[in-house]
Each structure stands twice: as C-alpha cells, then as structure tokens.
Structure 1
Amino acid sequence: MKPRIAVLGCGYWGSNHIRTLASLGALQAVSDQNMARAEGFASDQDVEAIAPAELFTRKDIDAIVMALPPQFHAESAILAVENGKDVLVEKPIALTVADAERTVAAAHAAGRILMVGHVLRFHPAFEKLKALIDSGELGEVRYIHSHRLGLGKFHTENDALWDLAPHDLSMILAITGQAPIEIRGEGAALLDHLSDFAHLHMRFPNGLRSHLFTSRLNPYRERRLTVVGNKAMAVFDDVEPWERKLAVYRHAVWQDSGHWAFTHNEPAYVPVEQGMPLTRELEHFIHCIRTREAPRTSGEEAVEVLKILTAGTVSHD
C-alpha cells in the first residue's frame, strides 16, 4: 500500500504537491492555517482537511510534505518527526544552519525519513548530465557555473540568493561530491534591503571552481547550468525545449608553437526522457518511505547548502 501523505501549506507550490500526490494515489489530507483554503483543496481532491494543530498526531498520516514560509520549516519538521512522521520539507530547510542541524538530528533520533525539496535534482536532463559526468564523458570537471535569472518572485523573508540558489547549489554539490572550502558572495539590493541580484564564487578542495548568478530583476528568463571538463563541456538549459535541454560541446583547445589554438564544434544534443521533476521527486519520497533508503536530497546535503548560503549572504541593512 502507498503511504498516506498530507500536504501542509496550500500556497502556490503546496498546491502543486497536492495535485501531484493525488495523481500518484498517495494524498491522504491537506492542511493550512487558512482552513477555508485547505477545505477547498480537500473538496477538489476528495480528501480530508485537517487543522495544522491536529495534523502531527494523526495516526492515519504516515508522512507530511511541508510547503510553508521557510521560517516555519524547522519547527514544523521537528514536530513531525518527533510524532513519527516522515517528512519532505521544501527548500530552504531552515533559515539558520543551527535550525537545519537540529532538524537533521531530530530526524535521526526519531528514525524518520527527512528529504528536502531540491526538485531539480530529479529533472531528467540533470540526471542525464550527472550520468555523463560520472561516466567520464566530460573528463575531469574543472569549472561549473549556473545562471538562474528572471522577474520575481518577491518575498519579504528571502532574497534572490536564498530563494533561487538552493536548487543550483544542490546540483553543484551533487556533481562535485564535496563542500567548497572558499565562498565569496556579492549582492545588490534595489527594491529594499534584500538582494535582488547575487553572485556566489566557490573553490573546492580538488581545485574545481564554480560561480552562481541569481537575479529576480532580470528582463528575461535564464535557467542554465554549464559544466566544463577537460574533454568536453555540457549545458543543461531548462528554458529550451526537451530535445535541446542538454547539449554537449566537444571543443578542442591545444598549444601550437607556443600559441593557443582551438576548434569550435557544434553542440550534440543528448536525448532526454521527458518527465516532470516534481512527480519524480515525490515518487522518490514514496520509495524512501517504503524502503527506508536515505533520500537523494537528504537533510545533510541541505545543511551544506545552507552553510554556503549563509557564507555568501551580503547584508544591506
């Protein structure tokens, strides 16, 4: 039997979780501080609406997906695991490293699954990219850069770095397999005291370097992760149609008589199986609940993401 999962938080992203879990046959209930909103979703999906105060102790709920304002993630996740629930909490896992570490420790102590919603790790194009890297297709990875730009969304708690960068940081950590040893952040606040633009520069123990650029005041959308190896380069561009989302460039660079020379080759587009990242993420969560396997996007990784965000944050107070 599938686990009985409740969604806590019926906002924009929570509503996507609700619809997706319902399509997977795993939605048991919905919950929100605004009970009228919860009851509307419950009616649409023919499930129960449960008040948040009652949700954590319900015996007919096996797991909770949390899509709350991030300041409420840590306490809610801790309360859930202490009541025997497995948890998928949206990013960021918390607003401080200490709260994130408390959440992870609580899940371990309770023996519960704790997964974090770094949804792009489940994108078929990223999974294919990771497979190419692991197979040695790109050679030794030397540099990674990511650009996540667009207009909005604007939050009162999260700046552009904390809102947009966790997905890319999770992908970068998955590729590198290690935490950076040097982090430098730059930011610019135009609307208020929160950064609307942010750059992160990172150096890793093996010499690999990476930079990340996020913006919520950009006139065009860009969702691009570029990986530079010593054999080839690859680009995961989520704005492109499926047949062009993953490209491999086999440029060649060499020295000739003391001068650098290169050949510029057209991209080879890698076939990618189409699939919704959120559906694949929730399927993985259900799998982990059933098998008790550690999630691919674990609480421990989310702590590392939070450490990077914290180190790279620029104050504009």
Structure 2
Amino acid sequence: MKPRIAVLGCGYWGSNHIRTLKSLGVLAAVSDANAARAEGFASEHDCIAIAPEDLFDHPDIDALVLALPPQFHAEYAMRAMRAGKDVLVEKPIALTVADAEKAVAVAREEKRIIMVGHVLRFHPAFEKLKALIDQGDLGEVRYIHSHRLGLGKFHTENDALWDLAPHDLSMILAITGASPVEVRGEGAALLDHLSDFAHVHMRFPGGLRSHLFISRLNPYRERRLTVVGDKAMAVFDDVEPWPRKLAVYRHAVWQDSGHWAFTANEPAYVQVEEGMPLTRELEHFIHCIETREAPRTTGEEAIEVLRILTAGSVVHGGRVNQPS
C-alpha cells in the first residue's frame, strides 16, 4: 500500500505540496490552524481535513509534510516522529542548530525518516551537473558561486538570507562533500530590521572557495549556480528555458612567456530531462518511506546549512563569524 501522507500548513508552498501529493495518489489529509482554509483544500482535493491537535496521533496517517513558519518546524517534526510518523520538513529545519540537532536525534531514536525540503537538489539540471562533477568532466572544482536575486518575498520574521539561501547552500554542500572551515557574512537591512540582501563567503578544506549572493530587492531575477573546475566551468541557470539550463564552458587558460593567456569558447548546452523538482522530491520521500532508505537531503545536512546561516547572519556587515 502507498503511504498515507498529510500536509500540515496550507499556505503558498503547502498548497503546492497538496496538489503534488494528490497527483501522486498519496494525499490523505490536510491540516491548518485556519480550519476553513483546510476544509477548502480538503474539498478541492477529495481528502479529509484534520485539526492540527488531532493530526499527530491520527491512526490513518503514516507521514507528514510540514510547510509551516520555520519557528514551528523542529517542534512539530519531533512531535510527529514520536507519534511514529515519518516527516518531510520544509527549509529551514529549525531556527537554531540546537533545535535541529534535537530533531535529528529524535529521528534516530524513533527510527523515523526525517527529510528536509531542499527542493533544488532534485532539479534535473542540478542532478546532471552533479553527475558531470562526479565523473570528472570539470576536473578539480576550485570555486563555486551562486546568485539568487529578485524582487519580493518579504517576510515579517525571516530575512533574505534565511529565506533564500538554504537551497543554494544545500547544492554547494552536495558538490563539496565537506563543511566549510571559514564563513564570512555581510548584508544590510534596507526596509526594516531584517536584511534584504547578503553575501556569504566560504572556504572549504583543500582551498576550494565559494560565494553566495542573495537579494530580495533586485530589479531582475537571477537563479544561477556556477562551478569552476580546472578543466571546465559549468552554469546551472534556472531562469533559462530547459534546453539552456545547463551550460559547460571549456575555456582554456595557460601561461605563455610568464604571462597568462586564455581562449574563450562558446558554451555547450547539456541535454537535461525535464521534470518538476517538487514532484521528484516527493517521489523520493515516498520511496524513502517505503524502503527505509536515508533521504538525499538529510537532517544532518540541514544542520550544516543552519550552521552556515548562523555564521553568515550579519545585518549591517563587518563581522566575521565561524561555524560552531
């Protein structure tokens, strides 16, 4: 039998989970503090609405998707797992490293699946990029930079760094396979007390460097991850149409008579299978529930993302932090 999954949180992103789980044939229930909103989604998607206080011990629910304000993620994830349910919790897993560590410890104790919604790890273009790196097509990776810019998505409790950066940090950690040994953050709050843009600089073992730039006060959209290797460079650009989302640049750089020279080549666009990252993410969650395999986006990785966010959280710049 397919697992019976409920979504707790019927907001913007929760509604995407609801529609996708329904299409996959595993949506059993919806839940929200706003009972009328939950009833509306239940009627639309032919499932039941369950009050949040009744959801965790409900016998007909096997797993939960938590799409809540992040201050509730860790608490509700632990409550669900102690009730014997597997959990997909949206990013960030918590607002503190300590709370995230408690949630992961509960998953271990209860032998439950805890998966974190770093959805871009399931983007076909990123999966292909990761395969190219693992195959050595780019050579040794020396530098990674990611830009996630746009206008909007203002929140009263989350700044731009915590809202926008987790996806990019998850991809960077997947590529490096290591935790940074140094993190520097700089940002600024232009509208209120919450930062609206931020730069995060990271240094990894072996000298690999990475840079992340995020902004919610930018006049244009940019969703670009660039990986620089000693053989080639690759760009995952999610704003581009599918045939151009992943490009490999085989530029050449060398020394000639003590001077650096280079040749610039046109990009080679890599064919990528089209697919919705959220659908692939939820298919993976279902697979993990059924097989008890560890998810690709683990709680342990989410803890590392939190460490970097905490270290890079600078509102007005100038402070250097180290991950704890």
**Which TM-score bucket, shorter chain as reference?**
over 0.9
Deviations 1:58-94 (A, max 9, x none): 1110000000000110100000000000000000000
Other-structure match for 2:157: 157
> Equivalences for 1:43-62 in 2 at 5 Å?
43-62=43-62
Deviations 1:279-298 (A, max 9, x none): 00000000000000000000
In 1, the alpha carbon distance for the partners of 2:299 and 2:52 equals 23
Deviations 1:21-75 (A, max 9, x none): 0000000000000010000000001100000000000111000000000011010
> Equivalences for 1:214-253 in 2 at 5 Å?
214-253=214-253
> Equivalences for 1:188-199 in 2 at 5 Å?
188-199=188-199
In 2, the alpha carbon distance for the partners of 1:304 and 1:239 equals 27
Extract unaligned runs of 5+ from structure 2.
318-324
> Equivalences for 1:28-177 in 2 at 5 Å?
28-177=28-177
TM-score, length-scaled by structure 1: 0.99
Residue 316 of structure 1 deviates from its aligned partner by 5.2
In 1, the alpha carbon distance for the partners of 2:206 and 2:43 equals 53
Q: Is this contact kept in 1: 2:188–2:315, CA < 8 A? A: no
Letter in 2 for 1:249: Y
Q: Is this contact kept in 1: 2:64–2:86, CA < 8 A? A: yes
In 2, the alpha carbon distance for the partners of 1:20 and 1:303 equals 27
In 2, the alpha carbon distance for the partners of 1:134 and 1:81 equals 34
Q: Is this contact kept in 2: 1:70–1:93, CA < 8 A? A: yes
Q: Secondary structure at the match of 1:126?
A: helix
Q: Secondary structure at the match of 1:253?
A: strand
In 2, the alpha carbon distance for the partners of 1:293 and 1:178 equals 22
In 1, the alpha carbon distance for the partners of 2:169 and 2:247 equals 20
Letter in 2 for 1:82: R
Other-structure match for 2:283: 283
In 1, the alpha carbon distance for the partners of 2:227 and 2:81 equals 37
Q: Is this contact kept in 2: 1:151–1:221, CA < 8 A? A: yes
Q: Is this contact kept in 2: 1:223–1:239, CA < 8 A? A: yes
Other-structure match for 1:16: 16
Q: Please identify runs of 4+ aligned residues in structure 1 that moved more than 4 A.
A: none
Letter in 1 for 2:115: M
Q: Is this contact kept in 2: 1:78–1:107, CA < 8 A? A: yes
Other-structure match for 1:267: 267
Residue 315 of structure 1 deviates from its aligned partner by 3.8
Letter in 2 for 1:312: G
Q: Secondary structure at the match of 1:206?
A: helix
Other-structure match for 1:185: 185
Other-structure match for 2:322: none
Letter in 2 for 1:30: V
- Number of positions where the alignment pairs a residue of Structure 1 with one of Structure 2: 317
Residue 152 of structure 1 deviates from its aligned partner by 1.2
Query: What percentage of residue pairs aligned between the two structures are identical?
Result: 84
Let me know the Cα RMSD of the aligned residues: 0.8
Other-structure match for 2:320: none
Other-structure match for 1:258: 258
In 1, the alpha carbon distance for the partners of 2:65 and 2:81 equals 12
In 1, the alpha carbon distance for the partners of 2:314 and 2:173 equals 21
Letter in 2 for 1:283: E
Letter in 1 for 2:124: P
TM-score, length-scaled by structure 2: 0.97
In 2, the alpha carbon distance for the partners of 1:6 and 1:105 equals 23
